Structure 1
Amino acid sequence: MQASRLSIPDVILFTPKVFGDERGFFFESFNEKLFRELTGVDVNFVQDNHSKSQKGVLRGLHYQMPPMAQGKLVRVVQGEVFDVAVDIRKSSPTFGQWVGEILSADNKRQIWIPEGFAHGFVTLSDTAEFLYKTTNYYAPQHERCIAWNDESLQVNWPYAGEPVLSGKDQAGVSLDEAELFA
């Protein structure tokens, strides 16, 4: 497993070592000891989530406030998405900045998104199945959503046309209006 810190150093891209032959492939998708060594984070994942989305579906930018804040380890097992993490920690030198990466079943990459980040993705393939581990349980009363198209963020979503949004995502607020981390 190779780990690369992105332009926001707390967000880490993992590229697994894949063993393949005519039978198929094998790779280790998570190893707690190695994760801790590569990130310096002692993590306890408590919930796994799995979603399927059609092309053009955009989910996000979601996060949960303390005491139910979540770190996420995200990956795609079918299809392809553009995955985004936005730093919403007011005291951070990278506050309001975002990073984005293509995650796909083919590249098998994963992204670690710690607490204090809003997260979202847009589906680029006909369909995509998205898996993520979380460090805290889903708590709708603590969930918040920043508008995917907030002009102050200027996220460069690589999708032409209007994305398909849930009602929750349509009601996302601007970064200026959002409840944020200290």
Structure 2
Amino acid sequence: MEFRRLSVPDAFEFTPRAFPDDRGLFTAPFQEEAFRAAVGHRLRLGQSNHSVSRRGSIRGVHFADTPPGQAKYVYCARGSLLDIVVDVRVGSPTFGQWDAVRLDAARFNAAYLAEGLGHGFIALEDDTAMAYLCSEPYNPSGEHGIDPLDPALDLPWPADITPILSEKDRTAPTLAEAREQGLLPAYADCVAYYDKLRSAN
């Protein structure tokens, strides 16, 4: 499995080998050895999620209170999507910056985002299925979002696709508003938490 660092610190893309034959295809979208080599600690698994989305559906941008936050390892099991990582950690040298990765069921590549980073995606075709491995269970009181259409972020949603948003995401605050409301995680707290995870391994 190959991996690369994204431009947002503490986010990675992983690309596994695929083994096609006359029966179909086999691949391993998550591999612990490669993950530990990249991130420096094991992936804790608190919950696995699965979503199916229509073309144009945007989910996010979501993040959780850190610590403990909720790290995510995500891949596309069917269809294709544009996955986006946003640095929402106040004090980070890349605060407000983002990176995007196309995930699809042809390559089964995956994106990992550490605790405290914002995550969103748009389905590029109907019946797109996304699988998430999450480090912590869902905690409604600690879950937050920012407006995925925030013009200040200028996220790269495809211009030829009409976005479909939930009411929750449509009414989420902008990044600036979330900062003013004290909703965003602190970069120093996140880094201290990452160090704690690495030292435990």
State the TM-score, normalizing by the size of structure 2. Answer: 0.86
Q: Partners of 1:66 and 1:6 in 2: how far apart?
A: 21
Note the residue ranges of structure 1 that are not aligned, 5 or more in a row.
Answer: none
* 2:12 pairs with 1:8: no
Runs (5+) with no aligned partner, structure 2: 187-201
2:165 match = 165
Deviations 1:111-135 (A, max 9, x none): 0011111111111112200000001
Amino acid paired to 1:18: A
In the alignment, which residue of structure 1 is the partner of 2:28?
Answer: 28
Q: Which residue of 2 aligns with 1:51?
A: 51
2:185 counterpart letter in structure 1: F
After superposition, the C-alpha distances for 1:86-139 in whole angstroms (9 at most, x for unaligned) are 001112111100011111111210000111111111111122000000011101
- CA drift of 1:46 comes to 1.2
Deviations 1:30-85 (A, max 9, x none): 22233112221332111100010111111110111134410000001111111101
Matches within 5 A, 1:1-182: 1-178=1-178, 179-182=183-186
- Asked if structure 2 preserves the Cα contact closer than 8 Å seen for 1:3 and 1:13, the reply is yes
Bigger share in helix: 2
Tell me if the contact between 1:124 and 1:159 (Cα under 8 Å) persists in the aligned partners: no
* Separation in 1, partners of 2:15, 2:7: 16
Per mean C-alpha deviation after superposition, the further-off stretch among 61-70 and 48-57 is 61-70
Q: Please give the secondary structure, in 2, of the residue aligned with 1:176.
A: helix
TM-score normalized with structure 1 length: 0.94
Q: Supply the AA of the counterpart residue of 1:93.
A: P
* Amino acid in structure 2 at the alignment position of 1:137: P
CA contact (8 A) 2:12 2:113 kept: yes
Count of matched residue positions in the alignment of Structure 1 and Structure 2: 182
- 2:191 alignment partner in structure 1: none
Q: How far apart in 1 are the matches of 2:118 and 2:8? A: 13
Whole-Å Cα distance in 2 between the matches of residues 10 and 28 of structure 1?
22
SS of corresponding position for 1:120 = strand
CA RMSD between the two structures:
1.3
1:129–1:159 CA distance, 2 compared to 1 (3 A) = farther
**Equivalent AA in structure 2 for residue 98 of structure 1:** W
Are the equivalent residues in 2 in contact too, given 1:54–1:127 (CA < 8 A)?
A: yes
